[in-house]
A and B are shown apart, each in its own frame.
Chain A
Amino acid sequence: MIKAPLPRWADVVLLPLLNVVLAFLIGGLIVLSVGQNPLRAVQVMLYGAFGYGTGLGYTLYYTTDFIFAGLAVSLAMQAGLFNIGAEGQAYISGLGVIFIALAFNGLHWAFMFPLMIVAAALFGAAWAFIPGYLQAKRGSHIVITTILFNFIAISIMSYLIARVLKPAGLTSDESAPIDAASRVLQLKTFIPFFKTAPVNITFFLAVAALFGFYWLIWRTKFGFAVRALGFNPTAANYAGISNQKMIMIVMALSGALVAMVAVNNVGGVQGRLIMNFVGGAGYVGIAVAFMGKGHPVGVALAALLFGMLYQGGSELAFSMPGITREMIITIQALVILFTGAMGDMLRNPVARLFALASPPVAEKR
Chain B
Amino acid sequence: MADGLNQTSEQRSQGAAASPLAIELIGINKHFGPVHANRDIHLQVRRGTVHGIVGENGAGKSTLMSILYGFYTADSGEIRVNGSPHKITDSRHALALGIGMVHQHFMLVDNFTVLENVVLGAEDSPLLNRTYAKARDTLKRLADDYELEVDPDAIIENLSVGQQQRVEILKALYRGAEVLILDEPTGVLTPAEADHLFRILRTLREEGKTIILITHKLREIMAITDEVSVMRQGAMVKTLETKSTSPGELAELMVGRRVLLRVEKGPSNPGKVLLEVENLVVTDDFKVPRVKGVSFSVRAGEIVGIAGVAGNGQSELLESVSGMRDQQSGVVRLNGTPLSLEGDDGAARARAAGLAHVPEDRLREGLVTAFSEWENSILGYQDRYGRGLGLDIALAQKTAEDYIKKFDIRPPNKDLKTANFSGGNQQKIVLAREMERDPDVLIVGQPTRGVDIGAIEFIHNQIIKMRDAGKAILLVSVELDEIRSLSDRILVLFDGQIVGEADPATADETELGLLMTGAHSPTATSAGPGTLPAHQTPLERGLEQMSVRDNAGKDAP
The residues of A with any CB-CB pair to B shorter than 8 Å are 2, 4-5, 219-225, 227-228, 231-232, 234-245, 355, 358, 360-361, 363-365
A239 to B324, CA, bound (A): 9
Contact status A363-B390, CB under 8 Å: no
Q: What would be 22 A-B contacts, judged by CB atoms less than 8 Å apart?
A: A222-B389, A223-B391, A224-B375, A227-B368, A231-B370, A232-B364, A234-B364, A235-B364, A235-B366, A237-B324, A238-B347, A238-B357, A238-B359, A238-B365, A238-B380, A239-B347, A239-B379, A241-B345, A241-B348, A242-B343, A363-B36, A363-B234
Task: Name the segment of B26-34, B99-107, B128-136 touching the other chain.
Answer: B26-34
Does B411 sit at the interface, judged by CB under 8 A? Answer: yes
A334 to B446, CA, bound (A): 50
Chain B residues closer than 8 Å to A240, beta-carbon distance: 323, 345-351, 380
Q: Closest residue to A351 on the B side, CB-wise?
A: B33
Chain A residues closer than 8 Å to B239, beta-carbon distance: none
Contact status A355-B365, CB under 8 Å: no
Residue picked from A220, A227, A232, most chain B C-beta under 10 Å: A232
Contact status B34-A219, CB under 8 Å: no
Contact status B32-A221, CB under 8 Å: no
Contact status A365-B345, CB under 8 Å: no
Set B32, B234, B347, B367: member contacting A237, Cβ < 8 A: B347
Chain B residues closer than 8 Å to A243, beta-carbon distance: 344
Chain A residues closer than 8 Å to B9, beta-carbon distance: none
A232 to B324, CA, bound (A): 14
Q: Closest residue to B411 on the A side, CB-wise?
A: A364
Chain B residues closer than 8 Å to A239, beta-carbon distance: 347-348, 379-380, 382
B232 CB to closest chain A CB (Å) equals 10
Chain A residues closer than 8 Å to B31, beta-carbon distance: 360
B420 CB to closest chain A CB (Å) equals 10
Residue picked from A225, A235, A241, most chain B C-beta under 10 Å: A235
A283 to B271, CA, bound (A): 63
Contact status A221-B383, CB under 8 Å: yes
Chain A residues closer than 8 Å to B385, beta-carbon distance: 221
Q: Which of B339-391 contact A (CB under 8 A)?
A: 343-351, 357, 359, 364-371, 375, 378-380, 382-383, 385-386, 389-391
Contact status B33-A360, CB under 8 Å: yes
Does B410 sit at the interface, judged by CB under 8 A? Answer: yes
A239 to B384, CA, bound (A): 13
Chain A residues closer than 8 Å to B364, beta-carbon distance: 232, 234-235
A219 CB to closest chain B CB (Å) equals 6
Contact status B33-A5, CB under 8 Å: yes
Chain B residues closer than 8 Å to A355, beta-carbon distance: 33
Contact status B422-A365, CB under 8 Å: yes
Chain B residues closer than 8 Å to A225, beta-carbon distance: 382
Q: Closest residue to B380 on the A side, CB-wise?
A: A239
A364 to B371, CA, bound (A): 20
Chain A residues closer than 8 Å to B371, beta-carbon distance: 227-228, 231
- Chain B, interface size category, equals 35 or more
Q: Closest residue to B39 on the A side, CB-wise?
A: A363
Contact status B36-A2, CB under 8 Å: no
Q: Rank and list the top 5 A-B pairs by shortest CB-CB distance, nearest first.
A: A240-B348, A242-B345, A240-B347, A239-B380, A231-B370
Does B35 sit at the interface, judged by CB under 8 A? Answer: yes
Residue picked from B344, B366, B411, most chain A C-beta under 10 Å: B344
Chain A residues closer than 8 Å to B234, beta-carbon distance: 363
Looking at chain A's contact residues, is the secondary structure mostly helix, strand, loop, or mixed? helix
Set B233, B347, B357, B366: member contacting A363, Cβ < 8 A: B233
A236 to B33, CA, bound (A): 32
Residue picked from A221, A239, A363, most chain B C-beta under 10 Å: A239
B65 CB to closest chain A CB (Å) equals 17
Contact status A238-B390, CB under 8 Å: no
Set B32, B233, B411: member contacting A2, Cβ < 8 A: B32
A152 to B368, CA, bound (A): 37
Contact status A221-B382, CB under 8 Å: yes
Contact status B368-A228, CB under 8 Å: yes
Contact status B33-A235, CB under 8 Å: no
A231 to B31, CA, bound (A): 29
B200 CB to closest chain A CB (Å) equals 33
A106 CB to closest chain B CB (Å) equals 37
A35 to B390, CA, bound (A): 58
Q: Closest residue to B361 on the A side, CB-wise?
A: A234
Query: Given A231-B369, A238-B366, is A224 in contact with B391 using a C-beta cutoff of 8 Å?
Result: yes
Chain B residues closer than 8 Å to A358, beta-carbon distance: 34
A233 CB to closest chain B CB (Å) equals 10
Contact status B366-A221, CB under 8 Å: no
Query: Given A228-B379, A231-B368, A365-B422, is A220 in contact with B324 using a C-beta cutoff of 8 Å?
Result: no
Residue picked from A5, A238, A240, A365, most chain B C-beta under 10 Å: A240
B411 CB to closest chain A CB (Å) equals 7
Chain A residues closer than 8 Å to B36, beta-carbon distance: 360, 363
A227 to B391, CA, bound (A): 13
Set A220, A231, A361, A365: member contacting B391, Cβ < 8 A: A220
Query: Given A221-B389, A240-B349, is A232 in contact with B32 using a C-beta cutoff of 8 Å?
Result: no
Chain A residues closer than 8 Å to B351, beta-carbon distance: 240
A231 to B390, CA, bound (A): 21
A241 to B346, CA, bound (A): 9
Contact status A238-B370, CB under 8 Å: no
Set B349, B359, B365, B390: member contacting A221, Cβ < 8 A: B390
Query: Given A219-B391, A239-B347, is A224 in contact with B382 using a C-beta cutoff of 8 Å?
Result: yes
Chain B residues closer than 8 Å to A219, beta-carbon distance: 390-391, 393
A235 to B371, CA, bound (A): 11
Chain A residues closer than 8 Å to B33, beta-carbon distance: 4-5, 355, 360
A5 to B378, CA, bound (A): 27
A219 to B357, CA, bound (A): 26
Contact status A244-B34, CB under 8 Å: no
